[in-house]
Structure 1
Amino acid sequence: MNGTPAIVNDVMSRRVVALREGAAFKDIVRTMQEWRVSALPVLDDDGRVVGVVSEADLLPKEEYSGAPGGRARGVPGADAVKADALTAAELMTSPAVTVVSGASLARAARIMAHRRIKRLPVVGPDGTLEGIVSRSDLLKVFLRDDTDIAGEVRREVVAGLFGTYADAVRVGVRDGVVTLTGRVPDTALTPLAVRLARAVPGVVDVHCSLTGPPRHPDLDPDLPDARRTAPA
């Protein structure tokens, strides 16, 4: 696809700051401030992602710092643990929500939407950290040039579905919106063409006006002649 982003590996950031399980509370806060991030992956001794520490994990210590009789007294269970935690291992949310580097951008977007998170650690087959992907990384695909999108739709969708009839299909793209027009031998393939075109990286939407072959009243006497003018 001429270098077009298609999988997480294509758009992820490879420069990643991470924590070890023994990282101290103040070091975690300092690292977040220095790197201007709201969450950090936590790694075990083998470099595998075992959890994530976010700002939300740190806040209970401040929230309950003035609670009478000690932070944890009268505090909900999970918050009590966070309020008294001193290290990344005690603070982190585990298991971590991650995505593999070979996953599609759509897969990463679904995970972020369903789990309501902004950044995902990217891991290899063995669970070791390879990078970080953010919401803004996933949106880079929509910067793709319209000409590139049109070319891929012609090659991968139109030519693949309609073969020798592909030249009869016109593909237009404007601001990521694909328009398909022309005649095709079998309109039953039209929904599939729309679905495949919509899956092309960078496509925002698909408008389809594909029609079937012209009717021949001489061969199909039961069909109306589209060329015949209406009676006065």
Structure 2
Amino acid sequence: MTSTPYTVADVMTRKVIAVTPSTGFKDIAAAMKRWKVTALPVIEGEGRVVGLVSEADLLPKEEFHESGPGLIEQMRRLGETAKAGSTQAEGLMTSPAVTIRPDATLPRAARLMADRHIKRLPVVDADGTLQGIVSRADLLKVFLRTDEDLASEIRHTVVERLFPLSHKSVAVTVDQGIATTGQVRTAT
């Protein structure tokens, strides 16, 4: 077990489908359907992330398909009406992309997603090169550990540190993800 907090690198998806700024609307929609994803990082050069295109970025094209917005609506929703007329990722994407580093903790990633109201983060190295992607579902993976795995981690990261000489006499029980007992047995 690890004695440090879980990081984005521990739970992120490493194989990521990405597009370039010149990728067309239909190719983006087809890639999302084929790979069963709801967003794609937009990369250029050697994989540097320049944006993210999501289903939400594609929807204005359908929304304004039958009739364009009136002048007041256009002014109020400039970004969305511009996206409705775009045919390539560079005009559809949200840029700059909100990204995170692989060594960031899971609470940091969760806070960033909550603060920015986003569902996923491209994971980049110091140069901004795509390393993976982390979603809200990925952040929840740590809660899928077995009770025995959790008990083992508590014994190793907490009990052994607090009771280096007597850690074997400390009972730890985990039930449905909750440490329910931690009892020190004293010698009589």
Q: Given that residues 8 and 134 in structure 2 are in contact (C-alpha distance below 8 angstroms), is that contact kept between their aligned partners in structure 1?
A: yes
Question: Could you tell me how far 1:94 is from its partner in structure 2?
Answer: 1.0
- Deviation track 1:159-178 (CA, whole Å, cap 9, x = no partner) reads 31244454554321112111
Q: Which residue of 2 aligns with 1:197?
A: none
CA RMSD of aligned residues (A): 2.6
Which protein has greater RCO, CA pairs closer than 8 Å, 6+ apart?
Answer: 2
Change (3 A) 1:109 1:181: same
Paired AA for residue 172 in structure 2? V
Q: Which residue of 2 aligns with 1:9?
A: 9
- Deviation track 1:60-92 (CA, whole Å, cap 9, x = no partner) reads 122122336xx6854121122112212111111
What is the number of residues matched between the two proteins?
Answer: 182
Q: Which residue of 2 aligns with 1:200?
A: none
Give the alignment's TM-score, normalised by structure 1. Answer: 0.69
Residues 78-89 of structure 1 aligned to structure 2 (within 5 Å): 78-89=79-90
- Deviation track 1:168-222 (CA, whole Å, cap 9, x = no partner) reads 54321112111344469xxxxxxxxxxxxxxxxxxxxxxxxxxxxxxxxxxxxxx
Question: Is 142-151 or 78-87 further displaced after alignment?
Answer: 142-151
Q: Which residue of 2 aligns with 1:53?
A: 53
Distance 2:148 2:160 in 1: 17
Residues 99-118 of structure 1 aligned to structure 2 (within 5 Å): 99-118=100-119
The answer to whether structure 1 residue 66 and structure 2 residue 63 are counterparts is: no
Q: Which residue of 1 aligns with 2:98?
A: 97
Question: Is 104-113 or 118-127 further displaced after alignment?
Answer: 104-113
Q: Given that residues 8 and 105 in structure 1 are in contact (C-alpha distance below 8 angstroms), is that contact kept between their aligned partners in structure 2?
A: yes
Paired AA for residue 10 in structure 1? D
Paired AA for residue 32 in structure 1? M
Give the alignment's TM-score, normalised by structure 2. Answer: 0.83
Q: Larger Cα Rg: Structure 1 or Structure 2? A: 1
Q: Given that residues 5 and 11 in structure 1 are in contact (C-alpha distance below 8 angstroms), is that contact kept between their aligned partners in structure 2?
A: no
Question: Could you tell me how far 1:48 is from its partner in structure 2?
Answer: 0.8
Q: Given that residues 171 and 184 in structure 2 are in contact (C-alpha distance below 8 angstroms), is that contact kept between their aligned partners in structure 1?
A: no
Paired AA for residue 107 in structure 1? R
Change (3 A) 1:171 1:3: closer
Taking only the aligned residue pairs, the percentage that are identical comes to 52
Question: Could you tell me how far 1:14 is from its partner in structure 2?
Answer: 1.6
Question: Is 37-46 or 107-116 further displaced after alignment?
Answer: 107-116
Change (3 A) 1:61 1:120: same
**Gaps (5+ residues) in structure 2?**
none
Distance 2:153 2:87 in 1: 53
Distance 1:72 1:44 in 2: 35
SS at match of 1:132: strand
Distance 1:72 1:86 in 2: 21
Distance 2:101 2:2 in 1: 22
Question: Could you tell me how far 1:52 is from its partner in structure 2?
Answer: 0.6
Q: Which residue of 2 aligns with 1:221?
A: none
